[in-house]
Amino acid sequence: MKHINYIIICTLLSFLFSCKIISKDNSKIEYVTEPIAEAQTRSEKASVPNQKQRIKGEWIIVNASGKSINAMDERAYINFSPKDGKIYGFTGCNYINGNFNIENNDDIKFSNIITTTKYCDAISDENNILDALEQVIKFSIYKKDNLYYMDMKDMTGRTVMHTKRHNADVLSGSWAVKSIHKKNVSDKQMKLIIDIPELKLHGNLGCNIINGTIGLDRNKDWFIQFYSITSTNNHCNGFDLNIERDLLIALEEVEYIDRKNYNEVVLCDKDKTEVLSLKRIELE
């Protein structure tokens, strides 16, 4: 009898507080009720309700209408822009645009969905995605094995779309360079601005300005690359130029993100060896 009472109490506590549960595969799941978006400026924080910030950014579509969505070269995804209530994305066949609205923290509704009209082999996956978007009325976000997932449900509570957050989103924002190949350079006050939605890199290295392009692979977790990096050619002392050169080389070596916490990340090469350490800053 004590064993039965214990099970009942645990079940009630889990329902009331939605804290942490242990799944059958022993992986810890944490339900998320706070904003997880990383690219939040002060103006965005002031103008966008928190429930919309929770969903902000790109989510890779893993399953829609009960069917797996992963058998294509370019993964299907939806990107949420909470400031204007817009979505855009890719179905594996066509590009989509539309609107979304969130009420009561977990009620969500999509509207005005339009697509391009290309026909391709993945059209059945596209139809499953569009059908799911029509049925969605609620969503929940949870964390499992250091990755964020979002389930979107229909009126019966059935999950009609299962998505995974594109984890390169954690890099969107402004960063100070703390170290290059573990050599402390924080006194040089080098700054990088990383824009994942626009796939752009901008930096002020103290003497020169750099710009570059970001490459992502939606089939690889925590993957990122920087390429086509250009730099101004200002006259600096030789010591500073050497440090800037080291930073440019390190950026081209980056392939993986090792997120320590919201404010600190380490960027690694293809062998998962640290090449850059960054600290989040907020620019006016």
- Tell me the pairing of strands 57-64 and 77-81: antiparallel
CA 145, 89, 45, 85 dihedral sign is negative
Q: How many domains does the chain have?
A: 2
Does 127 lie in the same domain as 49? Answer: yes
Question: For residue 7, is it within any domain?
Answer: no
Which residue stretches of the chain have pLDDT < 70?
1-51, 71-73, 283-284
CA distance 210 to 230: 5
CA distance 164 to 219: 11
Question: For residue 5, is it within any domain?
Answer: no
Does 161 lie in the same domain as 26? Answer: yes
pLDDT given at position 82: 87
Does 41 lie in the same domain as 156? Answer: yes
Does 160 lie in the same domain as 40? Answer: yes
Long-range Cβ contacts of 2-5 (<8 Å, 24+ apart):
none
Within 13 Å, how many C-alpha atoms sit on residue 8's CB side? Answer: 5
pLDDT given at position 63: 94
pLDDT given at position 35: 43
Does 160 lie in the same domain as 127? Answer: yes
Query: Considering 165, 183, 207, which residue would you say is the last residue of a domain?
Result: 165
CATH number at residue 58: 2.40.128.270
pLDDT given at position 50: 65
Does 78 lie in the same domain as 196? Answer: no
CA distance 60 to 219: 9
pTM of the full structure? 0.68
Question: For residue 2, is it within any domain?
Answer: no
Does 202 lie in the same domain as 151? Answer: no
Does 261 lie in the same domain as 182? Answer: yes
Token couple for 81? 């822009």
Query: Considering 108, 135, 165, which residue would you say is the last residue of a domain?
Result: 165
112: left (phi over 0), alpha (psi -120 to 50) or beta: left
The residue count of the chain comes to: 284
Question: For residue 41, is it within any domain?
Answer: yes
Does 215 lie in the same domain as 277? Answer: yes
CA distance 198 to 43: 19
Query: Considering 165, 193, 217, which residue would you say is the last residue of a domain?
Result: 165
Question: For residue 59, is it within any domain?
Answer: yes
Terminal CA-CA length for the chain? 61
pLDDT tens digit string along 136-149?
Answer: 999 999 888 878 89
Does 187 lie in the same domain as 136? Answer: no
Question: For residue 249, is it within any domain?
Answer: yes
Domain of 90 in residue numbering reads as 22-165
CA distance 266 to 177: 10
Does 260 lie in the same domain as 178? Answer: yes
84, 112 contact by CB (below 8 A): no
Non-local CB neighbours of 139 within 8 Å, separated by 6+ positions: 55, 106, 108, 150, 151, 152, 153
Token couple for 203? 């930096």
Can you point out the beta strands (E) in 145-190? 147-153, 159-165, 173-180, 183-184
Long-range Cβ contacts of 239-244 (<8 Å, 24+ apart):
240/188, 240/206, 240/207, 241/207, 243/180, 243/185, 243/188, 243/190, 243/205, 244/190, 244/205, 244/206, 244/207, 244/208
Does 188 lie in the same domain as 61? Answer: no
